[in-house]
Structure 1
């Protein structure tokens, strides 16, 4: 550092000391003031000429600069009571060649109230940042998290990749538990807004009388606007869950926000401009609600141009093996298990179940049976009772002939595997080669 200091003139150093800190003082090894800036002198009601050469304790009330030199330990953000109020000060010893030759001090907050206000603001800001970071780490999904090999899922993922960069509103329809939020977050994650907020609001969980304020904000008595979810999503994406539960009286206001990119907080006639991308979800068909006069037709046509129909799990059972393996791996790690396996009978039962609760129910069941299993082996006995008691048919009545034949084939092979361990004997009974049997076992994930 010494080689750089030689380029600093006395005038430059003086300017730094006068402006770098609000109040600043330097003392020698005898705790006598050798420098003090003008602002500090003004507060102390003493001239610089009067202060220089005086013991610091005679000029600055309750000073501990001499104690800093005695102990050789800095005091950072230390409370300092002076002229009837507490301030925060830094006091640091000056060490040259291992010897303390003086000390310098600076007042960083002249009023503890200022410090409390700033401290409170910082704490709130840090809490919010931590909340957002934790939320992102724990629950934010991208396109790769959407699992499935079915044609329907592949087509939805292609559509998301195409429309994500636009600002167009998106409607996501699907039964409860199909994972609509995962698809919404995937859209946001691929958009140009990915670095900004993804804000969500569930119309089914907020009391109807509070929805308007929560969504659009409110004009407060002190002439400030309490931001609603729409404004909080500024520059980012707002995900309105279960839009079918939004009262008709608020649908007109939402339509204005979509069309004009303006919101009108509760309690005022003033419009506030916004820049928000809207993604909306419904667990029922909005077109049917429009026919029943339960949903505004103009709002429906505004949001339905890009609609993602998320199929229930029972209609994409070919995706079940990948979903089971994905969740099994995730929850095994969380439970501290490694190499968890599902036996054939349990696997078959999971694949034959209709999953009325969709992906969410599958997740809950797998999470539970991992903890119920003895060791790393999941058996039929640990499955929920309603899954074990399900009536198994050879094929679903709404399946095509090819799908029915495949289901029957899988069931027959499964029954043989449950009763016989020797694959050669099974192949012989079925009249096929052992290699063909292995191919069919792999194909049906048995």
Structure 2
């Protein structure tokens, strides 16, 4: 080790020290700072030159470096409250020839949420490593299943990574077929509840008279039988309420009470049951419009939309089209047991020019049908639905050089001004130019 350090240039050692840990500090046996990295100084809002040499407790609040020096016992992954938030810190005594000469401290995570995010990420990664096709649950989605590199999709993925470890309720807005459930399951999969139930209910798919029992459960006294509702089934996990805008107003009041109080009362019972559920909701109709129409409770709206994710329709993110189409194509080639299939150029043109009112789900269904209808290794337009072939080819505007266009406009305006007015001072004033600039342009354009 000694020989390695001796052969490293000072600049390399400096880079290692600055990047080996996010934030760290080294103190001597008297708890005075010997070294602190620049990133930590920026967070503490101190100049490094001023921090070095000072007692560590004058620079870092609530520090325990002096305790580690005194006890000689390392303090690992210990919560450290600093500047209004909790962090995880390591503090290790430095020992030379059996004597404590100082201590080394590092911040492992900037706050407790960083730890939660990493915990969720590690769990997801391990699941990916250990999961075999037979182990995988049906229709279970992860963040990695969200395809697309458009700015809108990248932004949504980043937001999911930030909010998933929390228990914030999330409202997912988007047209039918945009994949709202995929995004909901991605949030659940990155949360601390990932190993617990993800329960879903579609309010538009269940008759109104049955919906209450489905959500809150029921108790039949004559049978002494309790049937759990979706809230109880999702206890300690996540409840995904799809098409929440279709929920009757009477049930909305009961849902609001269940979310606020953390308890449900099954139909036919007077006994409440405690539940700990994270709420994710989705709608394909703007809830604001429903509120104006008196069809949705405003107080419930504000309760379920701590965070709102708007999933753009496919027509607004056509830069993701190729990745989506290729993903579905490979998926159904394998499912159909075919060796190889490609989209012909004309087929791809039809697909790209279509407006996709059914969004990603419609694209998926069209690709699936085309795979089975293809007669050879190339998917021709004959394998596509008729409505896709009725769309005219997009007319792209002719692009011109911007500088040339500006100069043409400038020449035309000056030429017309010279026809209407002979006084150059008046012309310059009308065009917002100095007289010298006007003369230069007249000469430039041979006017």
TM-score range, shorter chain: 0.5 to 0.7
Decide whether the 8 Å contact of 2:353 with 2:392 is kept in 1: no
TM-score scaled by length of structure 1: 0.58
Partner of 2:180: 180
Q: Quick one: distance in 1 between partners of 2:140 and 2:270?
A: 36
**Cα distance, 1:207–1:327 mapped onto 2, change above 3 Å:** same
Partner of 1:244: 245
**Could you list the runs of 5+ residues in structure 1 that have no partner in the other structure?**
1-132, 396-403, 407-446
Alignment of 1:17-416 (within 5 A): 137-221=137-221, 222-395=223-396
Where 1:139 maps in the other structure, the secondary structure is: coil
**CA apart distance, 1:177:** 0.6
Size of the aligned set, in residue pairs, is 266
**Cα distance, 1:135–1:267 mapped onto 2, change above 3 Å:** farther
**CA apart distance, 1:343:** 1.1
**Could you list the runs of 5+ residues in structure 2 that have no partner in the other structure?**
1-132, 400-447
Q: Quick one: distance in 2 between partners of 1:307 and 1:338?
A: 42
**CA apart distance, 1:135:** 10
Q: Deviations over 1:268-300 (max 9, x none)?
A: 232211011111110100011111111000000
Partner of 2:129: none
**CA apart distance, 1:328:** 0.4
Q: Quick one: distance in 2 between partners of 1:271 and 1:327?
A: 46
Where 1:275 maps in the other structure, the secondary structure is: coil
Q: Quick one: distance in 1 between partners of 2:227 and 2:169?
A: 25
Q: Quick one: distance in 1 between partners of 2:185 and 2:398?
A: 38
**Cα distance, 1:252–1:135 mapped onto 2, change above 3 Å:** farther
**Cα distance, 1:175–1:248 mapped onto 2, change above 3 Å:** same
| Superposition misfits of 4+ residues, deviation over 2 angstroms | 133-138, 222-225
Q: Deviations over 1:389-418 (max 9, x none)?
A: 2123314xxxxxxxx568xxxxxxxxxxxx
Q: Quick one: distance in 2 between partners of 1:259 and 1:292?
A: 24
**Cα distance, 1:384–1:302 mapped onto 2, change above 3 Å:** same
**Cα distance, 1:327–1:207 mapped onto 2, change above 3 Å:** same
**Cα distance, 1:135–1:188 mapped onto 2, change above 3 Å:** farther
**CA apart distance, 1:235:** 1.4
Decide whether the 8 Å contact of 2:202 with 2:242 is kept in 1: yes
Decide whether the 8 Å contact of 2:332 with 2:368 is kept in 1: yes
**Cα distance, 1:371–1:283 mapped onto 2, change above 3 Å:** same
Q: Quick one: distance in 2 between partners of 1:176 and 1:214?
A: 23
Q: Quick one: distance in 2 between partners of 1:281 and 1:134?
A: 30
**CA apart distance, 1:380:** 2.1
Q: Quick one: distance in 1 between partners of 2:169 and 2:242?
A: 13
**Cα distance, 1:326–1:134 mapped onto 2, change above 3 Å:** same
**CA apart distance, 1:382:** 1.8
TM-score scaled by length of structure 2: 0.58
Where 1:289 maps in the other structure, the secondary structure is: helix
Partner of 1:424: none
Where 1:281 maps in the other structure, the secondary structure is: strand
**CA apart distance, 1:251:** 0.4
Q: Quick one: distance in 1 between partners of 2:371 and 2:167?
A: 42
Q: Quick one: distance in 2 between partners of 1:323 and 1:229?
A: 33
**CA apart distance, 1:174:** 0.6
Where 1:137 maps in the other structure, the secondary structure is: coil
Partner of 1:85: none
**CA apart distance, 1:134:** 7.8
Q: Quick one: distance in 2 between partners of 1:158 and 1:267?
A: 44
